[in-house]
């Protein structure tokens, strides 16, 4: 485990990560050596054109997929070397995911959706029902706790997804286009919810986005182009 000159340890560290996938007889190089460090409490945005590899990178950083080469560390743990069962544990404890299309369980209420990751935890840190109710309240969904996803608006569903992602108080929240599928108003509400919750919990956030309003809320914005991060200076050139 390394730290920067100030003794900080990154919550997330990617070192020279590559991803190649076969496409017929060819190999597509989706990520071409991506390195980045994100420190505790930071809010980092990742922008870049469609097809530049943002979702792929987020998936690797969250342990949903393995890199072809390179390394990803979460809280000092090299996740590319873990067994599937240990990886599932690390994901449950340390990483919250917010997807573009919410991915809530349709048959469960908002409350039950948020309780799920706490119930799955090997050593739960919270009382599932109490914690889920608290988070939904924090996200302005006190009156919708017993609604099922199809009884909620898109913005409300996304806030439930944010509550679910935060259920086990993970040190890292990864979000892929959290406002990408919402209208302007709903997007605003979700953005504010994300900012409020981040302030309240101090969770480190990495957000992939096309939305300049999301990018504005970040401490740093990185640009991905053809599977490589631009250097900061290039990104603002
Ligand atoms: N399973 C796969 N097999 C082959 N190529 C893939 C696969 N998944 C993604 N790709 C390719 O990898 C590249 C990056 O895809 P990715 O989904 O990471 O882009 P993105 O930056 O998230 O784009 P968008 O902004 O449209 O969501 C694309 O060119 C895509 O076609
Ligand atoms: Mg994408």
Ligand 1 atom nearest the C-alpha of 56 is 18
Cβ of 52 below 6 Å from ligand 1: yes
Cβ of 27 below 6 Å from ligand 1: no
Burial class for 230, CB neighbours closer than 10 Å (0-12, 13-18, 19+): middle
Cβ of 105 below 6 Å from ligand 1: no
Interacting residues of 216 by C-beta distance below 8 A, sequence separation 6+:
none
Residue 31 resides in a domain: no
Question: Tokens at residue 40, please?
Answer: 């505790």
Residue 192 resides in a domain: yes
Residue 24 resides in a domain: no
Q: What is the pTM of this model?
A: 0.90
Cβ of 65 below 6 Å from ligand 1: no
Indicate which residue's Cα is closest to atom 29 of ligand 1. 51
Tally of CA atoms within 13 A in the half-sphere of 13 that contains its CB:
15
The CA-atom distances, in angstroms, between 119 and each of 4, 57, 116, 132, 141 are: 36, 28, 5, 11, 21
Q: pLDDT tens digits for the chain (237 residues)?
A: 555 666 677 999 999 999 999 999 999 999 999 999 999 999 999 999 999 999 999 999 999 999 999 999 999 999 988 999 999 999 999 999 998 888 999 999 999 999 999 999 988 899 999 999 999 998 899 999 999 999 999 999 999 999 999 999 999 999 999 988 888 888 888 888 888 888 888 899 999 988 888 888 889 999 999 999 997 655 554
Distance 24 CA to ligand 1 centre (A): 16
Residue 11 resides in a domain: no
Ligand 1 atom nearest the C-alpha of 23 is 4
Distance 154 CA to ligand 1 centre (A): 24
Residue 3 resides in a domain: no
**φ, ψ of residue 193 in degrees (nearest 5):** -60, -45
In whole angstroms, what is the distance from residue 127 CA to residue 134 CA?
11
Distance 25 CA to ligand 2 centre (A): 24
Residue 162 resides in a domain: yes
Q: Where are the alpha helices (DSSP H) in 139-216?
A: 154-166, 184-201, 212-216
In whole angstroms, what is the distance from residue 235 CA to residue 237 CA?
6
Distance 176 CA to ligand 2 centre (A): 7
* Under 8 Å between Cβ of 133 and 109: no
Q: Which ligand is nearest to the CA of 223?
A: 1
Count of domains in the chain? 1
Ligand 1 atom nearest the C-alpha of 49 is 25
Residue 6 resides in a domain: no
Residue 50 resides in a domain: yes
For 87, the domain range is: 41-68+81-235
* Under 8 Å between Cβ of 15 and 74: no
Question: Tokens at residue 228, please?
Answer: 């490589």
Cβ of 21 below 6 Å from ligand 1: yes
In whole angstroms, what is the distance from residue 188 CA to residue 146 CA?
24
Indicate which residue's Cα is closest to atom 18 of ligand 1. 53
Q: CATH number, domain at 217?
A: 3.40.50.300
């Amino acid at each position: 485990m390394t730290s920067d000159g100030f003794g900080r340890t990154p919550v997330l560290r990617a070192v020279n990560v590559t991803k190649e996938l076969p496409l017929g007889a060819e190999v597509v190089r989706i990520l071409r050596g991506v390195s980045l460090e994100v420190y505790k409490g930071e809010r980092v945005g990742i922008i870049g054109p469609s097809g530049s590899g943002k979702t792929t990178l987020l998936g690797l950083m969250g342990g949903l997929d393995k890199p072809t080469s390179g390394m990803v560390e979460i809280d000092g743990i090299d996740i590319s070397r873990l067994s599937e069962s240990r990886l599932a544990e690390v994901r449950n404890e340390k990483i919250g995911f917010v997807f573009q299309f919410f991915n809530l369980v349709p048959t469960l209420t908002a409350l039950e959706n948020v309780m799920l990751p706490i119930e799955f935890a090997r050593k739960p840190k919270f009382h599932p029902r109490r914690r889920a109710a608290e988070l939904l309240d924090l996200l302005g969904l006190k009156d919708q706790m017993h609604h099922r996803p199809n009884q909620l608006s898109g913005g409300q569903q996304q806030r439930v997804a944010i509550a679910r992602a935060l259920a086990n108080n993970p040190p890292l929240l990864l979000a892929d286009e959290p406002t990408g599928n919402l209208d302007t108003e709903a997007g605003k509400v979700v953005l504010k919810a994300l900012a409020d919750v981040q302030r309240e919990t101090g969770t480190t956030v990495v957000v992939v986005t096309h939305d300049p309003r999301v990018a504005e809320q970040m401490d740093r914005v990185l640009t991905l182009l053809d599977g490589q991060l631009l250097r900061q200076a290039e990104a603002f050139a």
